[in-house]
Chains A and B, each alone.
Chain A
């Protein structure tokens, strides 16, 4: 059965910091990395893997494990260290990140990455994958939950809404979408490039249960997970997590310049020190 492991919030806070720092470290190996898209979902990822999901790292093919689909596959750089940390594979393998022949590329390949439930990279596919996983659970009478991490930019992909519509139609309560609502896609603010609001209403119109939370507030994430329904027929469930793209490094927060970047030398050291200090209160441009 799915378990809430009740890891202390300070542990989760530490693991979110670990995700951000590993993202910075691995990006330097690659010479380029998706920093800010990973930083925005660090608390969500930590909460899922260290607290919420029912998984057995020693048995990655366990049929009853909860499933996770990283639909925004460019944030895989934050997922690999979590999988290694949990014991799916030796953390030293991460040092090969993106180098010739590595198992770990910018976008993740399930054939190569132990613990990865599905490959991703082409945006807009993940919710359909999750739909299939949830349908399979129903067909085979298994009780696992399926979690799908969606970016907000990829909500412009039509297939997302094909999947949202069918999940609502089929009443797949065992499907949970997490929207990392960080507000930016590559070319600008989502509401300028292509609006996604009113996002909750859009999902509700397709028959989903909607929660909306601060996606960097670990206690709010925990409460949202606890509020999930997990038995029988019902509605698919979405947690819209309002986040800050680049959260954790002041220069990256809500910056269009850091979707992909590369930190070296003193900049690298300064960012690592900033991350070590932990999250500081977020000040949006409007507030300063």
Chain B
């Protein structure tokens, strides 16, 4: 369960340090909280760029929120802030990529993927430019900032685009793995991130390959196939279900396109039911992608779990996750409903 939701203003200023003259100790202005996992995005890209001159980074007036300022500080001549002009940023990145550079362009997922969708398709995917579009604060992780700032449709919109690889980062170490693997990936990519304070799933940087799911826990009664923020919640749900005598397999299906059909087939063959869990509209995302694979397999118990096909309520993220049963307790309930059918 995510508990660090007290300071929602942090979404816009990241965890950058800054002086403060505020009088109330509870006031906050840019002060990093101890123990809070910061975005590793800028730091990891800067590390990669130390030895790879092709890597350049851009953002759209969110360098502090997504910590690409960590890259800017170390590689200022290879960083561009396009201000609040996301389509221009994505298309310009495609132009850069046509010269052999590998641009990583980052902004909130709502603007990267949903506003930028046509630029992603027409300028990045279609001409096969090695642009990496990074959508942070995806899903409803922006909480009470509202549906304008949520991205609950991005996976559905982007996974039907040819020559675009769509992946979800699960936590900081997983993001490091994705970024490192992305350098040699021949296609354009959309990399979906949470808020940068994602609960830990991977204690070390995992070995990954795009299109190959990561099986994190094994079981026979149920397979939960999850991505992004819902992997940790699903693992915790699996633990709760274990106390009731149920063994649950948990799969991190972090590549949505191309999805790991073999892993889905194995779940269908070896476990009694499949539940997909995603922080995304129930239409078009991970659940739909898994269902498309299951259509060709023998009939089995299956349920998609995600955000209903409507704009979500106002509330802090943790409250929203609980409300829409996208936390460990909620997923446990949904799993029991499926298994009791």
User: A140 on the interface (CB 8 Å rule)?
Assistant: yes
- CB neighbours (8 Å) of B169 from chain A are none
Contact status A129-B101, CB under 8 Å? no
Contact status A109-B127, CB under 8 Å? yes
- CB neighbours (8 Å) of B80 from chain A are 135, 170
Contact status B96-A135, CB under 8 Å? yes
User: B229 on the interface (CB 8 Å rule)?
Assistant: no
Q: Which of B77, B88, B119 contacts A139 (CB 8 A)?
A: B77
Q: Which of B56, B82, B96 contacts A166 (CB 8 A)?
A: B82
User: A236 on the interface (CB 8 Å rule)?
Assistant: no
The verdict on A128 contacting B92 (CB below 8 Å), with A159-B87, A166-B83 known, is yes
User: A110 on the interface (CB 8 Å rule)?
Assistant: yes
Tell me the residues in window 64-82 of chain B with beta carbons closer than 8 Å to chain A beta carbons.
77-78, 80, 82
Contact status A163-B88, CB under 8 Å? yes
The verdict on A125 contacting B91 (CB below 8 Å), with A109-B127, A111-B128, A139-B78 known, is yes
User: A118 on the interface (CB 8 Å rule)?
Assistant: yes
Q: Which of A111, A131, A140, A159 contacts B95 (CB 8 A)?
A: A131
User: A90 on the interface (CB 8 Å rule)?
Assistant: no
- Report B61 CB to chain A, min CB distance, Å: 12
Contact status A129-B87, CB under 8 Å? no
User: B126 on the interface (CB 8 Å rule)?
Assistant: yes
- CB neighbours (8 Å) of B92 from chain A are 128-129, 131-132, 135, 163, 166
- Report A251 CB to chain B, min CB distance, Å: 34
Give complex CA distance A131, B85 in Å: 13
- CB neighbours (8 Å) of B98 from chain A are 110, 117-118, 129, 132-133, 136
Q: Which of B93, B100, B126, B127 contacts A132 (CB 8 A)?
A: B93
Q: Which of A109, A132, A136 contacts B91 (CB 8 A)?
A: A132
Give complex CA distance A72, B56 in Å: 28
- CB neighbours (8 Å) of B103 from chain A are 132
Give complex CA distance A136, B96 in Å: 5
User: A226 on the interface (CB 8 Å rule)?
Assistant: no
At the interface, is chain A mostly helix, strand, loop or mixed? Answer: helix
Contact status B95-A118, CB under 8 Å? yes
- Report A89 CB to chain B, min CB distance, Å: 18
Contact status A125-B122, CB under 8 Å? yes
Number of A-B contacts (CB under 8 A): 94
- Report B71 CB to chain A, min CB distance, Å: 13
- CB neighbours (8 Å) of B78 from chain A are 139
User: Using an 8 Å CB-CB cutoff, how does the interface string of A121-148 with B read, 1 for contact, 0 for none?
Assistant: 1100100111111011101101000000
Q: Which of B92, B94, B128 has the most CB of A within 10 A?
A: B92
User: B19 on the interface (CB 8 Å rule)?
Assistant: no
Tell me the residues in window 147-191 of chain A with beta carbons closer than 8 Å to chain B beta carbons.
159, 162-163, 165-166, 170
Contact status A129-B91, CB under 8 Å? yes
For A148, the closest partner residue in chain B by CB is: B95
The number of chain B residues touching the other chain, given as a range, is 20 to 34
Tell me the residues in window 90-142 of chain B with beta carbons closer than 8 Å to chain A beta carbons.
91-101, 103, 118-119, 122-123, 126-128
Contact status A129-B122, CB under 8 Å? no
User: A54 on the interface (CB 8 Å rule)?
Assistant: no
- CB neighbours (8 Å) of A130 from chain B are 95
- CB neighbours (8 Å) of B87 from chain A are 128, 159, 162
- CB neighbours (8 Å) of A69 from chain B are 95
Give complex CA distance A116, B77 in Å: 28
- Report B130 CB to chain A, min CB distance, Å: 13
Q: Which of B101, B118, B122, B123 has the most CB of A within 10 A?
A: B123
- Report A155 CB to chain B, min CB distance, Å: 15
User: A63 on the interface (CB 8 Å rule)?
Assistant: yes
Contact status A128-B99, CB under 8 Å? no
- Report A248 CB to chain B, min CB distance, Å: 31
Give complex CA distance A34, B125 in Å: 26
Contact status B85-A165, CB under 8 Å? yes
- CB neighbours (8 Å) of A140 from chain B are 99, 101
- CB neighbours (8 Å) of A36 from chain B are none
**Which B residues fall within an 8 A CB radius of A?**
56, 77-78, 80, 82-83, 85, 87-88, 91-101, 103, 118-119, 122-123, 126-128
A–B pairs, 28, beta carbons within 8 Å: A109-B126, A118-B94, A118-B98, A118-B127, A119-B123, A119-B126, A125-B122, A128-B95, A129-B92, A129-B95, A131-B91, A131-B92, A132-B92, A132-B93, A132-B103, A135-B80, A136-B56, A136-B99, A136-B101, A139-B96, A140-B99, A162-B87, A162-B88, A163-B92, A166-B82, A166-B85, A166-B88, A166-B92
- 5 new A-B contacts, CB < 8 A, other than A129-B92, A131-B92, A166-B92, are A128-B95, A133-B95, A139-B56, A139-B78, A140-B99
